[in-house]
Chains A and B, each alone.
Chain A
Amino acid sequence: MKSVRWIFASFFVSMVGSLGLVVYYLIGESAQVEGILLGLALGGMGFGVVGWATRLMDVPTVVEEREPLESSDAAMSQMEGMVGQDAVTRRKMLLRLAGGASATLGAALAIPALSLGPRPGQSLEETKWTPGARIVDRLGNPQRPGDIPLNGIKTVFPSGFEGEADSQTVVIKIEPELLDLPEGREDWAPDGCVAFSKICTHAGCPVGLYRAEARQLLCPCHQSTFDVTTGCTPVFGPAARPLPQLPMEVDEVGFLVAMGDFPEPVGPSFWNMETE
């Protein structure tokens, strides 16, 4: 009997663990202790039960015959006759109608699912940026070019829409002579300040890491890297489109304002996206 003493001990350990847990619950709150006590309670009993089964249940190996799964031909044809009774199959027209009615019923039952969300309409193509919209930080403070440190980065929003996810934008200031923006955007960079959508064109993560020495924006999700000097064109990683640039100027009182919305859709590409 010596070899089975540990089985008795296991059940004992389990009881100690369980009682310990009850007591500890009333006096303490460390997850570690709770985990250990619960582990003892379950583990003790588990070892005991397995030991009991493997050491103390000397059951014979048995052989069970496997009856074939498929039925006899006679039973099968009886069943087929039952399913395909004349009353069911002879009414071809009715069968077809019933099928058609089921399909229309399916559509009728599915239609309420359309209440789950609005139609996209233009909302994937547009953001809250409008001509003249003030560029403000998260707290609503308007920004002058001088508020952005050279080679610094700031997350901004259109005034009145602070925190609006699809309008989040980064403003970066770099030496104007380094800028090599695409044609037609020469005056989108007052004092070397350029603004780009902060939403990665790959899968929509916020592109918030700025490698100042390389003048690159880096997406933390899948490491897409965008060259700021050339208009945030992708230079590495899975993103295929540049980050859209926000047309930006300085208004008569010296604050940065948008000249309009982003020229392309922001964020991840979607089916049927308008591209030029």
Chain B
Amino acid sequence: MLKWIDERLGAAHWARKGLKKVFPDHWSFLLGEIALFSFIILLLTGTYLTLFYRPDAAPVIYDGPYQPLHGREMSAAYESVLRLSYEVRAGLVMRQIHHWAALVFVASIVAHMVRVFFTGAFRKPREINWMVGVTLLVLAIGMGFTGYSLPDDLLSGTGLRIAYSAVISIPFVGPYLGFLVFGGEFPTEGIISRLFVLHVMLLPAIIIGLIVAHLAVLWRQKHTQFAGKGRAESNVVGKAFWPQQFFKSFGLMLLTGAALALLGGLVQINAVWSYGPFDASAVSAPSQPDWYVGWLEGAIRLFPAFEPTILGVTIPSMLIPAVVIPGIGFTVMALWPFIEQRVTKDRDAHHILDRPRDRPARSAIGMGGILYVTLLTIAGGNDVLALTFNVPIEAMVWFLRIGLFVIPVIGGFITYRLCTEMQESGAQPARRRRGVRLRRNAEGGFEEVSRD
């Protein structure tokens, strides 16, 4: 078999080189792999769903097995999701695995980015892959959003109308753009089939292309590694891809699938039958988006009622929280490697990773950013939280509005101090599990014995 291929492709040379490729061993390098594996599971389950789902807004009267909705008018799309959940054998488990995989997919991308950020893995020559990564994050959120809207239930309509009001707030072209994207004034019949094309064709095709590019660049540039014995800027120390790394990654893929299968089977998610079909004039409280758009929901909730008229033009209140802030946020993120280069004047290539403490300022900014997004996400669920903890929602909103400016600064400052202190003390909190050796000192106390 191998010979047959080699005679046609001359594969022995380059394939061997590929199989010998060295992978440094560190758990944090697995986060990106989990993202890839979740995406594969999304492709498989999504393809299955596509065979049953109908992207059609035409009204039908429900007469399936789910009694509470009997005789209700609903879109063919919503009916097909009910059918998937109640009549197609293994349909419900596929739907739920798909939705759980979407949550894990975005979560692992975020975790992967956090790792890359705090270790400075984005520095020259890896700026390209950092920008590809930010684009993938945006597209992943887009996939989640379009998917969430496909079942055409009461909740998914809420996300769509908020997106519509964000689009029509855009300067100059807003209303035109909104009518082009949605095919008219919200709600439109055609939007379901447009979202479907985006969700199952256009966006996945772009994502696959970018993932291939991401991995090709990674292959060419080789992995980064943490400093350590025998490791230098000029080499990569680790295990060969074949067989051990390959088996490990393959096993990790199966384990990711297993975790998602258990979640999808045992933990109910997006029980669309209980929300009812979309209805433009129905209330849907409390409406909660998936976690990865919670920050946007939070920004929209916290932004004050501010709609000034300047030179006769009213600035729609959605413009700043839903368009300008996310726009600036993702742009700064994408350009971060260049911003940092400009500030530090460090334009050299780096293949040895920083520890977060080595760059207190970057770590402080990163922590501030994480806290900012976390607070926004909390704000995205403020009605549920206010109800759960029995605090007035007004107090909650004001606490978060002020906290948004204070808490990230305090968190950043503490991070900075922690980093500089850890630099001085040489503490190794991440390596605790190896134990430390203590020595009784002259005063009767204990002190750590350094081990290297």
Contact (Cβ within 8 A) A69 B262: no
User: Which chain B residue has the least Cβ–Cβ distance from A202?
Assistant: B317
Interface pair A271/B171, CB less than 8 Å apart: yes
A47–B237 touching, CB < 8 Å: no
Q: Is the CB of B316 within 8 A of A49?
A: no
- A202 CA / B161 CA spacing, docked (Å): 11
Q: Within the complex, which residue of A32, A42, A51, A114 is in contact with B257, where a contact is CB–CB below 8 Å? A: A42
Q: Which residues between 16 and 43 of chain A lie within 8 Å of chain B, taking CB atoms?
A: 25, 29, 31-36, 38-43
Q: Please indicate the chain A residues that have their CB under 8 angstroms from the CB of B258 in the complex.
A: 38-43, 46
Known A-B contacts A32-B265, A50-B251; A168 and B243 likewise in contact (beta carbons under 8 Å):
no
Residues of B225-282 at the interface with A, using a CB-CB cut-off of 8 Å, are: 230, 233-240, 243-248, 250-255, 257-259, 261-266, 280-282
Chain B residues within an 8 Å CB radius of A145: none
Please judge, given known A-B contacts A119-B179, A120-B176, A267-B165, whether A36 and B251 are in contact too, CB under 8 Å.
Answer: no
- Are B318 and A268 touching (Cβ within 8 A)? yes
CA–CA, A204 and B281, complex, Å = 10
Check: A198 CB closer than 8 A to any chain B CB.
yes
| Binary interface encoding of chain B residues 309-352 relative to chain A, with 1 for a CB under 8 A from any of its CBs, else 0 | 10001101111010000000000000000000000000001010
- B92 → chain A closest CB, angstroms: 4
Tell me how far the C-beta of A221 lies from the nearest C-beta in chain B, rounded to whole angstroms: 6
Q: Is B146 an interface residue (CB 8 A)?
A: no
Residue A74 at the chain B interface, CB threshold 8 Å? no
Q: Is the CB of A50 within 8 A of B265?
A: no
Give the contact stretch, choosing among A81-89, A97-105, A230-238, A244-252.
A230-238
Tell me, yes or no, whether A71 is within 8 Å of chain B by CB.
no
Q: Are B261 and A46 in contact (CB under 8 A)?
A: no
Report if B118 contacts A (CB, 8 A): no
Q: Which residue of B lies closest to A35 (CB)?
A: B265
Q: Are A269 and B244 in contact (CB under 8 A)?
A: no
Q: Are B248 and A53 in contact, CB atoms less than 8 angstroms apart?
A: yes
**Contact between B318 and A203 (Cβ–Cβ < 8 Å)?**
yes
Interface centre among B162, B166, B321, B383 (most CB of A within 10 A): B162
Q: Which residue of A lies closest to B175 (CB)?
A: A120
CB of A34 within 8 A of CB of B187, answer no
Across the interface, A34 reaches (CB within 8 A) one of B93, B178, B287, namely: B93
Q: Is A64 interfacial (CB 8 A cutoff)?
A: yes
Flag if B90 contacts A34 (CB, 8 Å): yes
Query: Known: A25-B90, A203-B161, A223-B383. Contact between A119 and B176, CB under 8 A?
Result: yes
Question: In the complex, how many residues of chain B place their beta carbon closer than 8 angstroms to a beta carbon of chain A?
Answer: 100
How many residue pairs link A and B with beta carbons under 8 A? The number is 271
Q: Contacts of B313 on A, CB cut-off 8 Å? A: 271-272
Question: B32 contacts the other chain (Cβ, under 8 Å)?
Answer: no
A92 at the interface (CB under 8 A from B): no
**Interface flag for B169 (CB, 8 Å):** yes
Known: A31-B96, A203-B161, A238-B304. A64 touches B235 (CB 8 A): yes
Within 8 Å by CB of B235, from A38, A63, A241, lies A63
List of A residues within 8 angstroms of B309 by Cβ: 275
Contact of B316 among A116, A163, A269 (CB under 8 A): A269
**Are the C-beta atoms of B306 and A240 separated by less than 8 Å?**
yes
Assembled-state Cα–Cα distance A43/B162 (Å): 40
Residue of B nearest to A165 (CB): B280
Instruction: Select from chain A the residue with minimum beta-carbon distance to B264.
Output: A35
Closest to A155 in B: B281
Minimum CB distance partner of A235 in chain B = B305
B165 engages A204 (CB within 8 Å): yes
Distance in angstroms from A155 CB to nearest chain B CB is: 6
Asked if A228 CB lies within 8 Å of chain B CBs, one says no
Q: Would A49 and B254 be within 8 Å (CB), given that A39-B262, A119-B179 are in contact?
A: yes
CB distance from A30 to the nearest CB of B (A): 9
A270 touches B234 (CB 8 A): no
A43 partner, pick from B238, B255, B316, B383, beta carbons under 8 A: B255
Interface string of A251-276 (1 = CB under 8 A from B): 00000000000000001111111010
Q: Mark A195-209, 1 if CB is under 8 A from B, else 0.
A: 000100011111011
Cβ of A82 to closest chain B Cβ, rounded Å: 21
Contact A53:B265 (CB < 8 A) given known A59-B239, A271-B316 = no
Q: Does A65 belong to the interface (CB within 8 Å)?
A: yes
Residues of the A chain whose Cβ atoms lie less than 8 Å from the Cβ of B285: 209, 220-221
A117 x B239 contact (CB < 8 A): no
> Of all chain B residues, which has the CB nearest A240?
B307
Any B CB within 8 A of the CB of A45? yes
Binary contact track A146-165/B, C-beta < 8 Å → 1, others 0: 00000000010000000101
Which residues of B, 395-432, contact A by the 8 Å Cβ criterion?
397
A69/B221 in contact, CB under 8 A:
yes
Q: Which of A29, A34, A62, A198 contacts B265 (CB 8 A)?
A: A34
User: A234 to B305, alpha carbons, bound, how many Å?
Assistant: 8
Across-interface contacts of A166 in B (CB, < 8 A):
185
Q: Which residue of chain B is the closest to A115 with respect to CB atoms?
A: B180
A66 within 8 A of B: yes
Q: Is A222 at the interface (CB under 8 A from chain B)?
A: yes
Beta-carbon contacts under 8 Å, B332-381 to A: 349, 351
Report yes or no: B161 in contact with A204, Cβ–Cβ below 8 A. yes
Within 1-23 of B, Cβ neighbours of A (below 8 Å) are at 20-22
* B283 with A118: CB separation less than 8 A: no
Contacts A/B (CB < 8 Å), 20 sampled: A29-B90, A35-B96, A38-B93, A42-B254, A42-B255, A50-B251, A54-B244, A59-B240, A61-B239, A62-B239, A66-B351, A120-B185, A165-B281, A204-B186, A206-B283, A209-B285, A221-B162, A224-B305, A238-B304, A271-B174
Give A contacts to B, CB under 8 Å: 25, 29, 31-36, 38-43, 45-54, 57, 59-66, 69, 113-114, 116-120, 123-124, 138, 155, 163, 165-166, 168, 198, 202-206, 208-209, 220-224, 234, 236-241, 267-273, 275
Mark B residues whose CB is within 8 Å of A. Answer: 20-22, 89-90, 92-93, 96-97, 125, 158, 161-162, 164-166, 168-176, 178-187, 220-222, 230, 233-240, 243-248, 250-255, 257-259, 261-266, 280-287, 297, 300-307, 309, 313-314, 316-319, 321, 349, 351, 382-383, 393-394, 397
Q: Apart from A124-B185, A238-B303, what are 12 other A-B pairs with CB-CB below 8 Å? A: A35-B262, A42-B254, A46-B254, A49-B254, A60-B239, A62-B22, A69-B221, A124-B168, A236-B394, A268-B165, A273-B316, A275-B309
